[in-house]
Structure 1
């Protein structure tokens, strides 16, 4: 059977469309190669342009078989499947790339937010500092405008026995190995109460001067007590001073510039502790508070000064006869260093002039 008869037979069996293949549809060197020996070694046709194609031995390959091409498809290599996450089109982002870009953007935005937050905090601190400075200045101006000045001296007045009227010394108290406290005092009732009390954490009676009803004047240091030989009549200005040193606990008591008594063994070698609260007119049962009305001062005090040394007798006498106006280096008597609370008042008065007038008006013996 010649070649033409064979082709016609195949066309009748499988149809001519299945044979519409080019000569490159079969791998080289395998069955069904583009060249077949027949008769005298003549070449077979290589295209479908008017010539018969070379048949596959054993029949045509299935279009759905692996590696097979549909009839009539061009001779081109099989395209690779698109990589994971790719749509198969040129220039598109992969999922991994998008995630990385988003993560980078998030980190950049977080850094910017932190920088803005830090800058904002710095601005807030500057604003708060400015507000604080303005507030302090306003408070100072208000105090200057509302608080009367006392160029000729002032007194603190405690008109009744309460547990809420008191004065407070603003100055910070340092550690003291000796002291002298002096003041002018005018009692309104028998038993003057407490002219001053100094309390520290853990010890409300670190330094106290008081007199109860029907009791002598007492000086307390670290809860140790010394009775002072002082006599304080009502409605008369009296100048009193008390001094003490931790060496042997020696104390001295002055009235009217004259020493009325002395003693020793009062809280010897115990330094007065720093950082406490100094109250005028009340005795403290806790640091800065829990006052007892029965121990409150009823009357007036003025020129309260505190030194961290023992004054000489001549210095005490000069204070008592008003020839000296020395201020204490620990607690000075100035209107801006002493505040009043609970109804206690500041009144303009010079106790030296008042005492001199009282002595002039008193009948001679």
Structure 2
């Protein structure tokens, strides 16, 4: 970072000297120098003070503007072996039909190790090791919603929350199965092979934020506090951090404040 700043500052000094040498007969050249100088000075300010829009590492969202098979985000970190989990996130769907796939976790031996998917006219489903539970969540009103899904291998018990309220629960979902480690977490696409072979008809279109994973089932009060923005609890397995999320294919990052934007339609 320091080396980049030094290079930019050196370029600024060079441009300033050129600006001083430019006379009124070379107004276009002087205009071009001024334009590049302003751009470089803005870049130095970003490096010194952080990029405009958001500064806390978790205060961002991922936007996937079009439903296709190449826009997505990927978490740099994977999961360890898990015997229980809670996965929470904010999302705002812009889909005309099914919600698509907000997230998927694939391992070499199982493409559908953990998937949240609503495809076409089918109900929203949580898949674990290719076993399916239907979730009574309603997320297609083009508004922000906070959702959590929690599961434990003991009897395959699961529960689903929307905006802090438990909407569904059950058992016998992949009972006694251990979530396999060292897979790939993708936001916005369903994986048919490890990290790829996406299907545009199963893609999520909209905005995602605050994706987190815990290695246990959170208490209902903890989930309510996350949805109400009275808690800053971060996942103890996966945290939402700007440096930990890569975007691809035209997906982008922007500022997001859950307590302000999360309640807007």
Q: TM-score, normalised by structure 1?
A: 0.57
- CA 1:188/1:357 → structure 2, altered by over 3 Å: closer, same or farther? closer
Contact 1:208–1:221 under 8 Å retained in 2: yes
Contact 1:167–1:280 under 8 Å retained in 2: yes
Contact 2:226–2:232 under 8 Å retained in 1: yes
Give the aligned partner of residue 355 of structure 1: 262
Superposed displacement of residue 167, structure 1: 0.4
Matched, 1:230 2:137: yes
Contact 2:144–2:263 under 8 Å retained in 1: no
> Number of matched residues?
216
Matched, 1:216 2:129: no
Give the aligned partner of residue 287 of structure 1: 194
Contact 2:90–2:262 under 8 Å retained in 1: no
Give the aligned partner of residue 332 of structure 1: 239
Q: Distance in 2 between matches of 1:236 and 1:176?
A: 32
Contact 1:178–1:244 under 8 Å retained in 2: yes
Matched, 1:191 2:107: no
Which of 76, 82, 90 lines up with 1:170 in the alignment?
A: 76
Give the aligned partner of residue 119 of structure 1: none
1:1-365 pair list within 5 angstroms:
145=47, 148=51, 150-151=55-56, 153-189=59-95, 190-358=97-265
Runs of 4+ in 1 over 6 A off after TM superposition: none
Give the aligned partner of residue 78 of structure 1: none
Tell me which of the two structures has the higher relative contact order, counting C-alpha pairs closer than 8 angstroms and 6 or more residues apart: 2
Q: Distance in 1 between matches of 2:258 and 2:118?
A: 21
- CA 1:233/1:203 → structure 2, altered by over 3 Å: closer, same or farther? same
Q: Distance in 2 between matches of 1:304 and 1:191?
A: 20
Q: Distance in 2 between matches of 1:331 and 1:343?
A: 24
Structure 2 alignment gaps of length 5 or more:
4-45
Q: Distance in 1 between matches of 2:117 and 2:197?
A: 16
Q: Distance in 1 between matches of 2:212 and 2:227?
A: 13
Contact 2:143–2:264 under 8 Å retained in 1: no
Q: Distance in 1 between matches of 2:260 and 2:252?
A: 20
Superposed displacement of residue 357, structure 1: 4.5
Contact 1:199–1:284 under 8 Å retained in 2: yes
- CA 1:166/1:357 → structure 2, altered by over 3 Å: closer, same or farther? closer
Instruction: Flag the structure with larger Rg.
Output: 1
Contact 2:229–2:258 under 8 Å retained in 1: no
Superposed displacement of residue 326, structure 1: 1.0
Q: Please give the secondary structure, in 2, of the residue aligned with 1:291.
A: coil
Q: Distance in 1 between matches of 2:264 and 2:144?
A: 11
Superposed displacement of residue 202, structure 1: 1.4
Superposed displacement of residue 355, structure 1: 3.0
Structure 1 alignment gaps of length 5 or more:
1-133, 135-143, 359-365
Superposed displacement of residue 352, structure 1: 2.4
Q: Please give the secondary structure, in 2, of the residue aligned with 1:325.
A: coil
Give the aligned partner of residue 77 of structure 1: none
